[in-house]
Structure 1
Amino acid sequence: WMTTMNPATRRLIKVMPEDMERTMQIFDLLLGDNLQGRKEHIAENGYKYLDQLDVS
């Protein structure tokens, strides 16, 4: 395939945020330029999402 995601296993999920302001804050935190803020967020909250990791 010509993408980083395997077409046979990738999923497209429609997201309907209820709180657009909070959603934008999280997107900015996770995808923005504030590396230190992202590291702190992952260090403080990452354990909550370990069961959702896909590292296969």
Structure 2
Amino acid sequence: MTDLVKLPEEEKLYRGTPIALTNITDQKKEARQFIDYLRTEESHQIFQKWGWK
């Protein structure tokens, strides 16, 4: 069973979402495009929609 515990805003802890290219991929162009997309305002709004800051 899981319980949801609501914390006051000042006590919330947020985690990052690191991303990196690897040397073993054969899709570097596509990976770079995805990373570039993650830096856009559109992507930021999607993260915010789902509760990320």
Q: Same fold (TM over 0.5)?
A: no
- Normalised by the length of structure 1, the TM-score is 0.32
TM-score (norm 2): 0.33
Mark the structure with the bigger radius of gyration. Answer: 2
